[in-house]
């Protein structure tokens, strides 16, 4: 019934697992992945796998399960109730700081973009106006292209050469981080700096991008930095918040940072909280959520406060986000219930267009992975896109003859008259010759008749391809605003067409409303977020009444889109071969049990283990394990060794570094006892084993792991079904799960990668390859 691929005994090894490395390392160094062994029964031709058929072993996992070893318990027991209260207060202080800093960054980006883009458009506008009369507009085009390229060049070089992880919106990376995957360098200060400068350059450079997505990443970086009370990049340790120097706490703060980012970007504090929860916190905790909400609120308040001062209206707290959809004033009736089927059709269209967008971007990304991986090539591609964007925009404006009267209520900052009569402006130019945020707002709110259908159609078409080409470039940029813009354009088009069919009652097909629905549909079709996106849209709209249609539209867009292609972020996560755990185990995975899923045999350590053995195991590059069950052998008995704990590579490294050997402890009685502080100081960049020198004499020493290992690791019997194991993993944020038999012997180890390997494909349960890439 359930068509599952036959389970083959598995000999590759994840970096998280503790397999014994016997025989030659099968996959070590083999860059080329083996063809996937899916569905051998059907005998379909084995196609050359793309990257998404692989799971990379290079990504380590985060330890979200507290290591409750003796040191930790002693510390907790020493702490008074007042101590716990102080900790709680510092958590709140940190969240407040995260909110303030994220808001300030958003403020900085906004002001810089406005300044630079304003300057650019002013120069070009003057130039165009000059040449419209005298002819020779091609000079204007060149000027436009050169200015765009200049900005993009700066941004592209920053990203491609200094910090490639800062490319894109950063949302997939933050998703992975919150999911429990350690993406290298994702929460570093350098990444933040490159990201901020990069996003300013790419928006000012006129690319089809938004500045909102990167805020989420920026918030995450701020949170990771503030909560640790030190910066490894700046080599400053403020000796604060040392308690929070572990993955569990840091993750909580990064959730708060991401939420603060969303909140600043869209003025949507609740949407931010829901985003963080949707993506991250599998274990919902009331206090944590409340803190996340606090950070979000502070962030949007800070942004609003400083922007209101900047705009000369201090105290006006009505612009809570970077993007603001403006007020949809529903004087009487927001929408009629018979419009709902129309909205749902638009949702389906959004899903289709979103799937098309994602598919195109998918192929483009594969192409980029194969051929455009050198930094200079990446910068050149970015420059090409910038020039093409300018050229296309210019051409569209040039050949457009959609002239609209320049009404008194329009305060167009960069309205182009071009070939229009005096007192009129070029309508195509409001869409192209503008920052995307302003274009979205104009599509939502301009009166019926401000755009003609031809303009909107052409704009949708060109912007669709431009945005699709742009996403994935080596520039910092978000896809939210371009998606909204495409959707708003065709949504408004729908509204105009509908109104033209029923000219007698034109009120009900208000094009602005349809633009909003179209924007939601397109964005939902591309990113496939659900609850949080609904709330973000509603908060950005500032009108709860549109909640139901937006929700329905997003739902339909997701269902239709998912039929063809995954969401854009998921595609990029998959193409990176990240071992990402979804919310639930695949539905048809009850066939599998821990026995089949686990890696086995497992490298275990004895409770008192020889230093040489530990060093050898840790140095074995072919296995590169991270978690090791600790076993105890009853002396003078042939009973099997029993599980008594679990120890991590990072802990062993610290122990080796501090030479916590039994013999030394005996000889030097006064030796300082290793404390939790030593582990915290080393966190998160534990040195590699190669950097730790262990002499031949020391190799013969013994190490007592009792105090440092986690004495109560979670275990499951080998008959536990995959969904049950999965639930345990997700609910507790595990990294390693020991599989034990009925006398408590270790028989296997389940890691994140063992679970992420299974997914529901078109032909039932499929299994991904593990690869060292």
Using CA atoms, how far apart are residues 298 and 207, in angstroms rounded to an integer? 30
CB 592 to a copy of itself: min, Å: 10
- Residue (530 or 622) nearer to a copy of itself, CB: 530
Helix (H) or strand (E) holding 703: strand 702-704
- Residue (348 or 392) nearer to a copy of itself, CB: 348
CB 336 to a copy of itself: min, Å: 5
Angle made by CA atoms 325, 329, 335, in degrees to the nearest 5: 100
Using CA atoms, how far apart are residues 362 and 83, in angstroms rounded to an integer? 51
- Residue (317 or 376) nearer to a copy of itself, CB: 317
Helix (H) or strand (E) holding 76: helix 70-78
CB atoms within 10 A of CB 541: 22
- Residue (183 or 535) nearer to a copy of itself, CB: 535
Q: Which of residues 605-624 bind a copy of itself (CB under 8 A)?
A: none
The site map against a copy of itself for 260-279 (x = CB under 8 A) is -------x-xx--xx--xx-
Using CA atoms, how far apart are residues 403 and 429, in angstroms rounded to an integer? 10
- For residue 259, give both structure tokens: 């939420």
> If binding is defined by CB under 8 A, does position 23 make contact with a copy of itself?
no
Question: Which residue of 531, 615, 664, 665 would you call a contact of a copy of itself, by CB under 8 A?
Answer: 531
Secondary structure class of 59 (helix, strand, coil):
coil
The site map against a copy of itself for 567-606 (x = CB under 8 A) is ----------------xx--xx-xx---------------
Question: Which residue of 711, 747, 759, 773 would you call a contact of a copy of itself, by CB under 8 A?
Answer: 711
- Residue (291 or 657) nearer to a copy of itself, CB: 291
Q: Which residue has the tokens 């979804």?
A: 582
* Stretch of 44-52, 188-196, 438-446, 543-551 lying at the interface with a copy of itself (CB under 8 A): 543-551
Angle made by CA atoms 283, 286, 289, in degrees to the nearest 5: 80
Question: Which residue of 209, 281, 477, 770 would you call a contact of a copy of itself, by CB under 8 A?
Answer: 281
> If binding is defined by CB under 8 A, does position 760 make contact with a copy of itself?
yes
Instruction: State the burial class of residue 356 (Cβ atoms within 10 Å of its Cβ: 0-12, 13-18, 19+).
Output: middle
Partners of 717 in beta bridges: 740
- Residue (519 or 646) nearer to a copy of itself, CB: 646
Of 325, 446, 557, 274, nearest in space to 549 by CA: 557
Question: Which residue of 119, 238, 310, 336 would you call a contact of a copy of itself, by CB under 8 A?
Answer: 336
> If binding is defined by CB under 8 A, does position 42 make contact with a copy of itself?
no
CB 382 to a copy of itself: min, Å: 34
Secondary structure class of 632 (helix, strand, coil):
strand
CB 733 to a copy of itself: min, Å: 9
Q: Which of residues 283-322 bind a copy of itself (CB under 8 A)?
A: 283-287, 289-290, 293-294, 297, 300-301, 305, 315-318, 320
Question: Which residue of 86, 507, 544, 662 would you call a contact of a copy of itself, by CB under 8 A?
Answer: 544
* Stretch of 282-290, 374-382, 419-427, 483-491 lying at the interface with a copy of itself (CB under 8 A): 282-290
Is residue 690 a contact partner of residue 618, using CB atoms and an 8 Å limit? no
Q: Could you give the C-alpha distances from 762 to 35, 513, 582, in angstroms and in order?
A: 18, 37, 17
> If binding is defined by CB under 8 A, does position 514 make contact with a copy of itself?
no
Q: Which of residues 644-683 bind a copy of itself (CB under 8 A)?
A: 644
- Residue (10 or 591) nearer to a copy of itself, CB: 591
CB 346 to a copy of itself: min, Å: 18
CB 286 to a copy of itself: min, Å: 5
Question: Which residue of 359, 401, 530, 613 would you call a contact of a copy of itself, by CB under 8 A?
Answer: 530
- Residue (208 or 739) nearer to a copy of itself, CB: 739
* Stretch of 144-152, 349-357, 691-699, 709-717 lying at the interface with a copy of itself (CB under 8 A): 709-717
Question: Which residue of 111, 116, 193, 334 would you call a contact of a copy of itself, by CB under 8 A?
Answer: 334
Q: Which residue has the tokens 């049990």?
A: 593
- Residue (14 or 269) nearer to a copy of itself, CB: 269
Of 150, 155, 149, 129, nearest in space to 140 by CA: 129
Which DSSP string corresponds to 196-256?
HHHHHHHHHTT-S-BSSHHHHHHHHHHHHHHHHTEETTTTEE----GGG-SHHHHHHHHHH
Using CA atoms, how far apart are residues 98 and 101, in angstroms rounded to an integer? 5
> If binding is defined by CB under 8 A, does position 244 make contact with a copy of itself?
no
CB 492 to a copy of itself: min, Å: 22
Q: Which of residues 44-103 bind a copy of itself (CB under 8 A)?
A: 66, 68, 73, 76-81, 84
Using CA atoms, how far apart are residues 251 and 187, in angstroms rounded to an integer? 11
* Stretch of 205-213, 492-500, 509-517, 526-534 lying at the interface with a copy of itself (CB under 8 A): 526-534
CB 584 to a copy of itself: min, Å: 7
Q: What is the dihedral of CA 399, 402, 404, 410, to 10 degrees?
A: -70
CB 348 to a copy of itself: min, Å: 17
> If binding is defined by CB under 8 A, does position 463 make contact with a copy of itself?
no
* Stretch of 136-144, 175-183, 229-237, 724-732 lying at the interface with a copy of itself (CB under 8 A): 724-732
Per-residue burial over 62-92, b if 16 or more Cβ lie within 10 Å, else e, is bbbbebebebbeeeeeeeeeeeeeeeeebbe
> If binding is defined by CB under 8 A, does position 716 make contact with a copy of itself?
yes
- Residue (27 or 264) nearer to a copy of itself, CB: 264
- Residue (642 or 699) nearer to a copy of itself, CB: 642
Using CA atoms, how far apart are residues 199 and 378, in angstroms rounded to an integer? 16
- Residue (461 or 632) nearer to a copy of itself, CB: 632
DSSP annotation of 333: -
> If binding is defined by CB under 8 A, does position 376 make contact with a copy of itself?
no
Angle made by CA atoms 306, 307, 310, in degrees to the nearest 5: 90
DSSP annotation of 721: B
- Residue (699 or 724) nearer to a copy of itself, CB: 724
> Are β-strands 424-426 and 403-405 bridged in parallel, bridged antiparallel, or unpaired?
antiparallel
Q: Which of residues 161-190 bind a copy of itself (CB under 8 A)?
A: none
User: Cis link prior to 743 (omega < 30° from 0)?
Assistant: no
> If binding is defined by CB under 8 A, does position 138 make contact with a copy of itself?
no
CB 722 to a copy of itself: min, Å: 11
Number of residues located near a copy of itself, criterion CB under 8 A? 91
Q: Could you give the C-alpha distances from 517 to 96, 406, 590, 685, in angstroms and in order?
A: 35, 27, 40, 46
Using CA atoms, how far apart are residues 327 and 532, in angstroms rounded to an integer? 20
Secondary structure class of 49 (helix, strand, coil):
coil
> If binding is defined by CB under 8 A, does position 38 make contact with a copy of itself?
no
Q: Could you give the C-alpha distances from 659 to 224, 346, 626, 690, in angstroms and in order?
A: 30, 66, 20, 15
- Residue (95 or 149) nearer to a copy of itself, CB: 95
Question: Which residue of 32, 333, 635, 669 would you call a contact of a copy of itself, by CB under 8 A?
Answer: 333
Helix (H) or strand (E) holding 108: helix 81-134
Phi, psi (deg, nearest 5) at residue 413: -80, -40
State the maximum Cα–Cα separation within the chain, in Å, rounded to a whole number. 101
């Amino acid at each position: 019934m359930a068509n599952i691929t036959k389970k083959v005994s598995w000999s590759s090894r994840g970096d998280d697992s503790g397999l014994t490395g016997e025989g030659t390392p099968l996959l070590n160094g083999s860059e080329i992945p083996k063809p996937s062994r899916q569905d051998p029964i059907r005998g379909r031709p084995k196609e050359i796998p793309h990257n998404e058929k692989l799971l990379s072993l290079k990504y380590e996992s985060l330890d979200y399960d507290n290591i409750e070893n003796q040191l930790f318990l002693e510390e907790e027991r020493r702490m008074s109730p007042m101590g716990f209260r102080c900790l709680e207060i510092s958590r709140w202080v940190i969240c407040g700081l995260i909110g303030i800093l994220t808001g300030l960054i958003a403020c900085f980006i906004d002001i810089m973009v406005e300044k630079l883009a304003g300057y650019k458009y002013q120069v070009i506008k003057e130039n165009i106006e000059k040449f419209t009369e005298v002819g020779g507009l091609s000079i204007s085009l060149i000027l436009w292209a050169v200015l765009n390229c200049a900005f993009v060049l700066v941004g592209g070089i920053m990203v491609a050469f200094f910090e490639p992880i800062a490319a894109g919106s950063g949302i997939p990376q933050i998703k992975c981080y919150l999911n429990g995957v350690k993406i290298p360098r994702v929460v570093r200060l350098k990444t933040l700096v490159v990201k901020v400068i990069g996003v300013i350059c790419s928006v000012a450079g006129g690319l089809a991008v938004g500045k909102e997505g990167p805020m989420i990443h920026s918030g995450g970086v701020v949170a990771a930095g503030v909560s640790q009370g030190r910066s490894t990049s700046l080599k400053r340790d403020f000796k604060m918040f040392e308690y929070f120097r572990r993955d569990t706490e840091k993750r909580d703060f990064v959730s708060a940072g991401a939420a603060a980012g969303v909140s600043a970007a869209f003025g949507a504090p609740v949407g931010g909280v829901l985003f963080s929860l949707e993506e991250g916190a599998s274990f919902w905790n009331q206090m944590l959520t409340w803190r996340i909400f606090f950070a979000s609120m502070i962030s949007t308040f800070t942004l609003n406060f400083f922007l209101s001062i900047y705009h000369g209206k201090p105290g006006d707290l009505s612009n809570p986000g970077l993007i603001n959809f403006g007020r949809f004033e529903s004087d009487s009736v927001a929408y009629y219930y018979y419009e709902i089927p129309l909205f749902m059709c638009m949702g389906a269209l959004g899903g289709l267009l979103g799937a098309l967008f994602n598919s195109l971007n998918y192929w483009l990304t594969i192409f980029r992975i194969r051929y455009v991986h050198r930094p200079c090539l990446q910068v050149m591609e970015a420059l090409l896109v910038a020039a093409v964007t300018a050229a296309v925009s210019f051409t569209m404006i040039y050949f457009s003859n959609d002239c609209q009267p320049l009404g008194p209520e329009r305060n167009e900052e960069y309205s182009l008259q071009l070939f229009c009569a005096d007192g009129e402006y070029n309508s195509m130019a409001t869409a192209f010759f503008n920052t995307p945020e302003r274009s979205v707002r104009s599509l939502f709110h301009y009166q019926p008749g401000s755009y003609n259908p031809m303009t909107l159609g052409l704009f949708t078409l060109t912007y669709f391809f431009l945005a699709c080409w742009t996403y994935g470039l080596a520039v910092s940029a978000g896809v939210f605003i371009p998606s909204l813009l495409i959707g708003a354009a065709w949504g408004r088009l729908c509204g105009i067409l509908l109104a033209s069919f029923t000219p007698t009652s034109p009120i009900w097909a208000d094009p602005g409303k349809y633009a909003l629905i179209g924007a939601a549909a397109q964005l939902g079709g591309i990113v496939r977020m659900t609850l949080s996106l609904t709330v973000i849209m509603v908060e950005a709209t500032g009108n709860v009444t549109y909640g139901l249609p937006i929700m329905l539209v997003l739902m339909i867009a997701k269902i239709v889109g998912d039929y063809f292609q995954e969401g854009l972020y998921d595609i990029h996560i998959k193409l990176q071969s990240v071992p990402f755990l979804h919310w639930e185990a695949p539905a048809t995975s009850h066939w599998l049990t821990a026995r089949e899923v686990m890696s086995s045999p497992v490298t275990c350590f004895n409770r008192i283990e020889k230093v040489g053995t530990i060093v050898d195991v840790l140095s074995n590059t072919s296995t590169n394990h991270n978690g090791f069950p600790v076993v105890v052998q009853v002396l003078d008995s042939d009973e099997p060794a029993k599980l008594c704990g679990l120890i991590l590579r990072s802990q062993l490294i610290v122990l080796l570094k501090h030479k916590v050997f039994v013999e030394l402890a005996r000889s030097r009685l006064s030796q300082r006892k290793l404390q939790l502080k030593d582990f915290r100081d080393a966190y998160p960049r534990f040195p590699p084993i190669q950097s730790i020198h262990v002499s031949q004499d020391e190799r013969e020493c013994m190490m007592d792991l009792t105090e440092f290992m986690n004495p109560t690791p979670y275990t499951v019997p080998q008959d536990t079904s995959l969904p049950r194991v999965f639930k345990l993993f997700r609910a507790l944020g595990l990294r390693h799960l020991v599989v034990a038999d009925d006398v408590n012997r270790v028989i296997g180890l389940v890691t994140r990668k063992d679970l992420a390997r299974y997914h529901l494909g078109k032909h039932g349960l499929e299994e991904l390859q593990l690869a060292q890439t």
